[in-house]
Chains A and B, each alone.
Chain A
Amino acid sequence: MPDFQFSNIEKIILTLGTIGCLASFGYEIWRRFKIVLKGRESLPFDRFGERCWRVIREVLFHEKVMGGRFWPGLMHGFVFWGFLVFGLITIDHFATGFGVPLLSESLHHAYSYFGIPFAILVLIGIIALAYRRFMIRPAPLGKTSPTSGFVALFIVVLMLTYIYGEFNLSPIVWKMNWWLHTSVILAFLWLVPRSKHLHLVLAPVNIFFRPFEQPYHTAVNIDLEGSEDELDSMLVDLTRMTKNQVLDVFSCVECGRCIDVCPANRGGGILDPKNHFILDLQQPLLDQGNVDVLGTINVDAGWECTTCQACTEVCPVGNHVEKSDEIRRLEVLVEGKVPQEYQKLFMNLQESGNTEGHTNSPLADRLPSYTPDMEYVLWLGCFARYGLDPNFTKSIENFTKILEFAGVSYGVLENEHCSGDPANRLGDKLTYTMLREHNMEQLAHAKKVVTLCPHCALNLEKEYGKYAEVTYRVSHHTQVIEQLITEGRIKVKKGSEGKVTYHDPCNLSRMLDEVDAPRTAIQASVDDFFELEESGRNTLCCGAGGGLWWKKETKGRTHLVRAEQVVASGADTVVTGCNFCFGMMNQGLKPLTPEGQSEIQVKDVADIVAENMVEISPV
């Protein structure tokens, strides 16, 4: 690099420009951060090491950016890694302008052997992304935005000016090139905080702070004996976002991966998680300068959500996208506007302690009652207790056969009420409180609980744990089965059931983080197992979550999208680990199976293991 001097005037202009743009940058960030600080709860620093490692994986290694959208992800990777490499160069660039370059000429030149290839990668990356954005225009990306155009242009200019600057240029040309590069950087500084490109700054921070728990919603503590002022302030709190949620809104990069994976959206519903749950909140936050904006979320979209957390799982900038809890609790607790079928559901829960309004359960009557000397409480859940799909009763019985064979003692609670999952996910936190308090009393002497319903499992330990201390541990039945197999307490041989696949329940794979136990169990029981697309933590929800099992609206095909995939996969048998998934598969597969193709068998993990257990005949 030639040893060019910058005149005092140039230095003054540079100083003013730099300070001005830095100030503007800083102001816009500060403005948003002030709003973040008004949010509820504190930003978490617990499990510090895990959080740092998560940032490294997701930011540096682009784990979620490349997962799911590999090639665009890689192109973005080029641009991102290029940015990292250019950090030092940019500082040196400005320092040069002030007459105090950081790198000596030889170092600068040596660095260019590194920098120029990266600049080329960045160019490839940004041009590929711009092509995708402006020519192919995939729908989830939304309307084409001029900002994106500018940013693409800026990056291209920056790379070209960098490369050009490394050639032997005449002083005038070099200067002009230098100033062009500088101006673009200053323009960038000005643009970044005012656009989705703020993710440059916020994504690592947001990923660091993201809650470990999925889903994560603030607990709603209701005390009907409290004062009216306390109630009023609690109700106001329901409209207020947490610090994390506000940070999410400003970090959103508008990529639309959340839309891609949303079962309601794919089923033809109106729900668009990117806009309804994140971007719609941006303007209200900025306009009001405050966080009490949850009431602006689109209500109809909110009722369509299955709460499956696919959106949260896939977000590359660490957003907890889903906000159905937030809007539903406002509609139920504050507005009293509840769809009629859910009102009936809530009344049943309040009056009879279960979703169906029944008073007795023949299944529960047949099973042993729990006494504290037994190892497990077998938690049935309303679905099994009241026969929401009569075929599932067999699955419960198969599981009890497995337990008995392994010599594991278990009993059911006489006074088991609904775990409250439907009330919890549908926003009726008052009914949830009633059910939760009742159940915790029933479980007071329990040490270990096992259940076939992941919704129950999730609520009994994790959700209840947000309100009170939970003294028992909860396992999903697939976890117990896996343990029994690996400990050799039951023996399973590989039977032939045709081509067998497994549909991961969203409550189990994502929210309870259990992907392996069911597979261990199934693969020990069958000889021909294959994976569905979108499996494991990326599973596509069956459509019954979030209380939607009880939804009467029949337009929209949220409940059919996954069934279609199963039919298309060529499976003979689909195994599930959740009673709702079981029921949805039973309902969805039949009408979608084309004529001539034989019906696909639906089984629970307990069925397939019991059927192939040695020395036992299943139900």
Chain B
Amino acid sequence: MKIAVLVKQVPGADSPLPIQSNQNWVDEGAAAFIMNESDNYALEEALQIRESMGEGEVVAVSLGPDRIQKVIREALAKGADRAIHIQMDTEGVIDPLVTASHFDHALKEENFDLIFSGLQSDDLGMGQTGIILGEMLGMATASLAMATELGDGRIKVKRELEAGWFQWVSLTLPASVSIQSGLNSPRYPSLKGIMGAKRKELKVVTPNVVDATQSLEKVYLPKSEKQTVMIEGSADQIVEKLVETFRNEIKVL
């Protein structure tokens, strides 16, 4: 059972992200980088599958500049057997077709049974790379997995639907599944894991050039700075205005 886990390094939630003067991207200098949250859950799911099967290989794969090696080492420390680093500068790269193509190129020869990825990244939030990659590799795909079950050459995935509904879907193998946060309790790297990570294989590959099909024009702060709109009047007047706000401004009615 060969499982690839796509992990991404993203700025932490409380990182300051000042916009560059040319508005092309943010200044990453002061950011604290961490593993994307849903990727962490994907990694844990893969490790648990390998442990329950008693055999198999979990390969962590990540795309980005040098700084992402920290997240790759973290995946190795947690138990991934080896890793692949697709080394490239990612500033301005937002097209999931491009990143998926790079992953496709790096992983094509390896014939993975499963590819796990996080549902979406906390920086760009495109939520497609794992599914696109699956399609490129000729795999069945499913997204928003809240639970997985392997058996009989298939994988069953509990998909999350809107409003508290769920649905089990059974996929043929090989399959690419995107994983939702919260489906397991990710482990913390042990000391032995951290030490051992240094000795595990970390293959660095350089990607080919792939043309982007969507591009980032600029980034900017949301136009409205928080100005609290105070609603006044008698209780009845307030209620009327609130209902109107719910309906027309916030659009929840």
Contact = CB atoms under 8 A, between A and B. Distances in A.
A392 B212 CA distance: 51
Interface string B1-30: 000000000001111100000000000001
A617 interface: no
B194 interface: yes
A352 interface: yes
A430 B194 contact: yes
Nearest to B37: A344
Contacts of A340: 185-186
Interface residues on A, range: 20 to 34
A183 B197 CA distance: 65
Prevailing SS type, chain A contact patch: helix
Contacts of A358: 14
B150 interface: no
B187 A336 contact: yes
Contact of A356 (B14, B33, B186, B191): B14
B226 interface: no
B185 A351 contact: no
Nearest to A330: B190
B214 to A, nearest CB: 31
A332 B15 CA distance: 26
A393 B78 CA distance: 39
Interface in B170-219: 185-195
Contact of A231 (B32, B34, B186, B192): B192
Given A351-B33, A351-B34, A359 B191 contact: no
B30 to A, nearest CB: 5
A346 interface: yes
Nearest to B35: A347
B12 A357 contact: yes
A348 B190 CA distance: 17
Contacts of B191: 222, 231, 235, 333-334, 430
A224 interface: yes
Contacts of A352: 12, 14, 32
A295 to B, nearest CB: 14
Given A336-B188, A359-B32, A224 B194 contact: yes
A415 interface: no
Given A357-B13, A358-B14, A359-B16, A235 B192 contact: yes
Contacts of A228: 195
A496 interface: no
A422 B169 CA distance: 43
Contacts of A337: 187-188
Contacts of B13: 357
A347 B74 CA distance: 11
A432 to B, nearest CB: 12
Interface string A206-235: 000000000000000010100010011001
Nearest to B15: A359
Interface in A321-350: 332-338, 340, 343, 346-348
Most buried by A among B13, B14, B188: B188
Interface of A: 222, 224, 228, 231-232, 235, 332-338, 340, 343, 346-348, 351-352, 356-360, 430
7 contacts: A235-B192, A336-B188, A347-B34, A348-B32, A352-B12, A357-B14, A430-B194
Given A335-B190, A348-B32, A359-B16, 16 more contacts: A224-B194, A224-B195, A231-B192, A336-B188, A336-B193, A340-B185, A340-B186, A351-B32, A351-B33, A352-B14, A352-B32, A358-B14, A359-B14, A359-B15, A359-B32, A360-B16
Interface of B: 12-16, 30, 32-34, 78, 185-195
